[in-house]
Every structure is written in C-alpha cells, then in structure tokens.
Chains A and B, each alone.
Chain A
Amino acid sequence: MTASFIRSDDFAAFVTAIIEAGPVYGPVAKRSRFAFARLETPEELRLDYDVSILPPKKLFFPPAQDLLQFDEAGFRAPLEPTEKVLLGVHFYDVKAIDQTDLLFSERNYDINYMAHRETTTIVAANIQTVSSRAFFASVGADVQPKGHDAFLTAIAGGYVLETLTERGGALLKFGAFQPATDAQLKEAAAVNAAVLEQCPEKLEHGTEAIAAKVRAAFKNEAMWTAMAADCFSCGTCNTVCPTCYCFDVHDTWNVDQTSGQRTRYWDGCLTEDFAKCSLGEGACENFREERATRFRHRMMRKATYLNEKLGGPACVGCGRCSAGCTADIADPVRIINQIMAS
C-alpha cells in the first residue's frame, strides 16, 4: 500500500488523463440527485454527492444483460467486458460490492458478473455529504470494505490517494502525485472517522443480537402484516439496494422472428409473482402469496440469512430503500429497532 497526495489544482488533469486512457464511471448530478455515469469531463464528477440513485452494482450486474443471443445458426454469449475505472464509490457501496463479488463467484462462478467486475478498477472516495436516511456507521460496523483498489479522501488543499492493489497503483502515473505526509494521512483518517458520527439514523444493537431476534420474530405474523400493510409490492426497495442481486430471465425475439436473446433483468422478492409456480390447468402455488411474507423475506435476507456466509449483515446502511419507498415502510432501521424493542 502506498499513500500519495495530489493538489486540488492538479486533480482535474488527473481525471482527464484517466478518462483519456479508458472509460471512467463516477457520480454525476442527475436533476437534484446523483447517478453513476460515464464521465466525459472532470467537471461532471461530483465527489460531494450524498448517495447515488442506483448503486454502482449496475456496472457489473446491468439492469438488463443478455446471457446469450441466438439465431438460425446457433447461439453465443455476447460478453465483452472492457477495462474501466469506477471512481468515487462510498465505502458502504464497496462493502456491498464485496458481497455481490462473493455471491456471484461462490459455488457456481458467474462469468456474466465476474467478467465485468474483474475488469474494473475501483477507486473508493470519502463521503463528503451524508444522505438523509443513512445509517452506515451502525450496521455491520466490524466489516471493513476490501474490494477497492484505491481510496481517495478529500483534505485541505487536495486529495490523499491510498492505493491498495496493482490496479490502484497503476493510476498514479496519470497525475501529479507525490508521497503523502504523515500529517496528510492523519487528516484523511480524521475525515473518514468524522463522517461516521454524522448518520441521521442508527441501529441500536449489534449484528448478532439483531440476527437472532429478527430470525426469532419470523412467526410473528401479526407484526409482519402490520409492517407491510401499506406495501405496494413495487419492489423499489429491492431495485435500489446495493446488496440485492435477484434476477429474472426471459427470452425475446428480434423483429425478424428468427433471432433473439436470453436476458436477465433485475428482479425483486417483494414483487407479487416472485415465488409463484404454475402447476397446470390454471392452478398455481404462490409460496409467498401475502405481501407480509415477502416483506419478511427481505428483512430475513438483510439481517440474518446471509450473515454467516458474508461475515456480517446483507445491508450496508445506505438508506436507499428508506428514501425510495413511497409508503416509507422499508427503512431497515425502523423495522429492526421495532423488532428489537418488542
């Protein structure tokens, strides 16, 4: 690991140089909010963003991705990953990427995600603005982000760039970096520590206590029914979540009616048909028919089911689901704190 410093005045030239070298994705303004998008100029980059509308997983796990294409001659995988830089990822989103990295590579290694992931250099960045529903400081606090190649922290007069991998180190040649001083490193550490004090929401208990109590609350039907009473089954809480990775797969024809594609699309366990099976003669069995059962499944996934595998909860406290839910019932902090208090 090396730590370097770049002056604010030199930063735009650095971003320009990496944009010229290959595609760079970073947070940009989208009306009053922010989204990860391909950067054309350094001015577009908004490292002061609070949270992106969709998480950066969309680069590796696109909302719609062709798994194969077919025509009369046969079929093929259209996978053609390109080297790219993903710049400005907040640490909670790096933690989420660490989770999807594990989940897509374990047991059956999924090349459709992993190819895009392995060709990406991730530069994390410190959180300059805390979003209105964030609770990243109190969820899975003992799990550290690890999938990034470098970490950028804004300090007085410039940025400290800590490079952690070869890929990260390769960025240094694009800018006027000099070794960071101890004082600069200390300042960066203080900046990153300070942001942890600023979350507007907070879980009141540790990961294990939460996991045990949420799991034990499974059969509290009345509670789940009440919590989910206003749910529209829209699936927004799944779509915006950086750790959700469920998908649907279907085939479509092109207009020629001989060629087409098999595509996977983001899906969400809150949607009505997610667990529905056709049995024939019009009969079907929906294994999570009541919205309360789907609502409960999401919380079980976030707070308990995957903990052992992931080493922590499958929620990183970004607050996207809380802010995205029209009915404002999806906030894990409220749900968990209510269960813990019951």
Chain B
Amino acid sequence: MNHQCHWTEVENIFLPREATIVRSVQATPTETHFTLKMTDGQPIEYEPGQIVELSLFGYGEIPIGIASSPTRKNTFDLVVRSVGRVSGAVTALEKGQSVYVRGPLGRGFDLTKLRGQDVLIVAGGIGLCPTRSLIQYILDRRDEFKRFVLFYGAREPGLQLFTDDLTMWRTARDVEYCETVDKGDPSWSGNVGVITTLFPQVELTPETRAVICGPPIFYRFVIRELDMIGIPRENVFADLERRMKCGVGKCGHCQINDKYVCVDGPVFSFADVQGLEEAF
C-alpha cells in the first residue's frame, strides 16, 4: 500500500471527548444555549466559524457551530435548536451533565481576509450562533478591524437569540448593530421586515468584507443586496449548512457538487462556490 502512516500510530477520528455543561439557558422555546467546559480541563483550540460534532451516547452525533470566540478561554458556547432525535435529547440536558464533542472541525472564517477591513455580518435566525464566534472575536480585538456593521434578522421578537448580547450591541459604540423581525408584536418598536430591509439603513462601501449566515433561502436574497453595493464575490463569505454525519470528509452527506462542507467549509468564499450548481 502506498500511504505513509500505520494505523497503530494514528488517533481515531471518531472518538469524542467529554465536556461538562457549566451553564444551560433556555434561549427561546426551542433553543438552548449551553456553555461547555472540557471535562479533562484541556480546552479545545478553535477558530471562529469552526464546528464540533456534538453527541450523546445512545442518541447520536450532530454538527453544531461554535457560538463563542476563542478569545474567551476555557469554556465555549453552543446553541442547540431542538429539531429531532439528537438535538431533542441534548436540549433537555442541564447544568452538570455531560455531552461529548469531536472537533473543532472544518474551516472557519479566514481572519487574514477580514483584519484591517470594514466588516459586515449578516445573520438570519440561527445563523447568529456560528457568526457570534466572529462577532465576539471582533469585539475583543476591535482595533484589528475597521468599521463593524452587524445585521440580525429573527422571525419574531420572542425568537431572538443572545438577548443579553443584543441589549449590549444596541447601545455599543464599537458595532453598528441593526435588527429586524419578520413579524412584530406589541412589545416590538423596531424594524419589521425581512433582513434585506436593513440594507437601506446603512451606507456600505464596495470595499466592505461581508460574512453571511442564515437559512437556505436567505443567501440568494442577501447576495443580491451585496452585488448592488458592488462588493466583489471573493470578499463575501458564506457559512453553509448541509446534512452531516462524519464531519471529517468521509461519509459523503455534506457534499455540494464536489466540495465537502465539513472539511472545505462550512465557511466558503462566495467566489469559490458560486460556480457550484448545488450551492444556492
């Protein structure tokens, strides 16, 4: 056989590590915000935008984007929406209980392309979770970046995530934060409308670097706005979601044409994927 290593010398990529839940907050009716600490005390080293495979024995394993920045050490955050077998079991867990993680996996945001630039982040729904790793990173290393604009759209006010963060960002001077909901309620005095309605509210230059993450349909609409501003597609970074099983480029589930979201992504430059018929 013509390959270099021998199986006895290689780690098993499918063995997870234990993490303890140090905080668990019911963020919305279906989403739980967890803060985790590796049980052996050895923190995971990751980049903003990377993911982990989160598991519970007997239920299974699911990919989840890391929702906190590596600049905040020792613990990390995950937000899990209850949608099925694994996520349903995980969201029922409480402080002190254990979960298992493999990772970090995949390629996160290419910070070398963002540093020293104006950055716009556009997050729709649960897309705020993985992008929060970058938002926190930028806020923690604010002088490494120029202007910072953040758009966040949720379906309803009650479905907004990270409400403590939102309260802070609304008044913060180091981020220009704009938010919208698809459907308001009596408590809501802010913008109502889809995420694209935020674009006219802020003047953006074609030199801006844009990071976008949201539900599948969201990309087509947002890219149209970015095109209109004149932001070249190689400066647009999309965080994509596909069905995943292995997270390590083997099982085939996450493919977009010949790319693997789990190892080539989940963050892609728009220019790299726009030629792929299965991307958007």
Instruction: Give residues in A with beta carbon < 8 Å to B.
Output: 67-68, 70, 75, 77, 79, 81, 101-105, 107-112, 114-115, 117-118, 146-147, 218-219, 245-253, 260, 262, 264, 267, 269, 274-281, 285, 287-288, 293, 297, 300, 304-306
Contacts and interface: CB of A to CB of B under 8 A. Distances in A.
A111 B7 contact: yes
Interface in B1-48: 1-3, 5-8, 10-16, 30
Given A81-B7, A247-B252, A285-B216, 9 more contacts: A67-B14, A75-B100, A108-B249, A111-B12, A219-B277, A247-B250, A248-B253, A279-B215, A306-B258
A77 B277 contact: no
B7 A253 contact: no
A110 B3 CA distance: 12
A250 B60 contact: yes
B140 to A, nearest CB: 30
B166 interface: no
Nearest to B264: A107
A109 B5 contact: yes
Interface of B: 1-3, 5-8, 10-16, 30, 55, 57-61, 81-84, 87, 100, 215-216, 241-243, 245-246, 248-253, 255-258, 263, 277-278
A117 B253 contact: no
> Chain B's interface: helix, strand, loop or mixed, by majority?
loop
Closest 4 CB pairs of A and B: A246-B252, A305-B258, A108-B248, A115-B7
Contact of B250 (A104, A147, A262): A104
B245 A251 contact: no
Contact of B245 (A104, A248, A306): A248
Given A253-B58, A305-B257, A112 B243 contact: no
Contacts of B251: 246-249, 264, 267
A342 B267 CA distance: 37
Contacts of B61: 249, 251, 262
Contacts of B57: 70, 75, 251, 260, 262
